[in-house]
Amino acid sequence: MSTSDGGLRRLHGRGACLQGKIVVAGPCSVESEQQIMEAAVQLGKQGISALRGGIWKPRTRPGSFQGIGEAALPWLKAAGKAAKLPVACEVAQPAHVDACLAHGIDILWIGARTTVNPFSVQALADRLRGVDLPVMVKNPVNPDLELWMGAIERLRRAGVTKIAAIHRGFSTARETIYRNEPIWRIPLELRRRMPEIPLICDPSHMGGTQELLKPLSQEALDLLFDGLMIEVHPHPNQAQSDRNQQITPTQLRSLLAKLKPKKELAVVRDYLRHMAELRKEVDSLDHQVLDGLSRRMEIVRQMSHYKEKYGTSSFQPHRWSEIIKDRTSYGTAHNLDQDFVLDVFEMIHEESIRQQEQENAVIPQKTAGRKRGQRVG
């Protein structure tokens, strides 16, 4: 867990409903004065940290509900006041920031479709200069850690000090059960590089369904996330946006009661002894994996000399198909997930080709290590 609270926990509630975790809950969109008040009054009794509500909605297609706009800000603020909760709203343009400031909104968040665009983020950061409200930054829609970190850095450079990151999953071309694939290694790498930034998971936009809320929330807690942002609507079946993923305040209460926050360490002799033994075994197996990979690359480099001599390509489509077929069936027979085996061998294959090209001086010697998920533009 990070040491800084991004100014969020201090504001209110202290996540009393989830053992000190930040819990931001509320509807996807503020739809009417009554709807947000009903949500707030019920949520206020649960000890959540903040009430969320979208006012300007970045909808994928035109013609659908685009949010009420500025007129809904006083409703959101009044609902927060009635429930004694700070209120959070998404901003995508400097004018949104101005409106939120004018109406006393307590926390802002930058949505996934905005984080993706450095011009938009910079415009928001410029408008926030000297304001220093807490800002939560959702990950960009595409799995690009640099872009996410870049947005945080732009805000920091503008003097914003209370920043949290929200992981809401990534849009991908491959078929998954998620609306937005978690790809947990990206937020975990964000945590490693920016340990002071609180990390909040948004299982609502990640899963896209009510059913996935519990497993995703628990997974986030198992990964030591600092909190959750969950879409809650007093009448989800009447919601004008994201109907399938919203739950009622009562459902939120029962969901939170089932979740188990985790700690990183347990100073218990039995735990420490077993973990030390098992970790020793894992260390040794990892070394065996690396020894095997190193030997594999050595052989691949030898092969590249024959390929060069006889003018054959470093990429051999038939051989590659055979490898994929063999390794996935071998892997699944050994209790490994097929997609995982595929990912691993795609990386091994890419590196094998790179080493062959390098061996035959087609590409220059690599100087620095490539960082996964890193693209600088």
Binding site for ligand PEP (CB under 6 A): 28, 54, 58, 111-113, 138, 168, 205
Nearest distance from C-beta of residue 102 to ligand PEP, angstroms: 22
Please, which residue, 114 or 314, has the CB nearer to ligand PEP? Answer: 114
The tokens for 12 are: 């209110």
- Among 187, 170, 217, 150, smallest CA distance to 2 is for 187
Give 168 or 191: the residue with its C-beta nearer to Mn ion.
Answer: 168
Nearest C-alpha neighbor of 166 from the set 86, 226, 105: 226
Closer by beta carbon to ligand PEP, 110 or else 259: 110
* Closer to ligand PEP by Cβ: residue 179 or 327: 179
What CA–CA distance (Å, rounded) separates 56 from 73? 10
Residue found under tokens 């945590």: 191
Whose tokens are 């994929």? That residue is 324
Contact between 242 and Mn ion by CB under 5 A: the answer reads yes
Residues 70-89, mask of contacts with Mn ion (x by CB under 5 A)? --------------------
Beta bridge partners of 166: 138, 200
- Paired with 182 in beta bridges are none
Cα–Cα dist 235/5, whole Å: 32
CB 327 within 8 A of CB 320: no
CB-based contact 96:58 (threshold 8 Å): no
Q: Which of positions 11-50 make contact with Mn ion (CB under 5 A)? A: 28
From the list Mn ion, ligand PEP, none, partner contacted by residue 12 (C-beta under 5 to 8 A by kind): none
> In this chain, which residue has its C-beta nearest to Mn ion?
28
Binder of residue 215, out of ligand PEP, Mn ion, none (CB less than 5 to 8 A by kind): none
CB of 66 to ligand PEP, least distance (A): 11
CA distance 359 to 365: 9
Rounded to a whole number of angstroms, the minimum distance from the CB of residue 90 to ligand PEP is 6
Rg (CA), the chain: 24
User: What is the smallest separation between the CB atom of 171 and Mn ion, expressed in angstroms?
Assistant: 14
Judged by beta carbon, residue 248 or residue 358, the one nearer ligand PEP is: 248
Pattern 311-330, binding to Mn ion, x per CB under 5 A?
Answer: --------------------
Q: How far is the CB of 241 from ligand PEP (least distance, A)?
A: 7
Q: How far is the CB of 65 from ligand PEP (least distance, A)?
A: 12
For 110, left (φ over 0), alpha (ψ -120 to 50), or beta?
beta
Strand partners, 98: none
The contact set with Mn ion (CB under 5 A) reads 28, 242
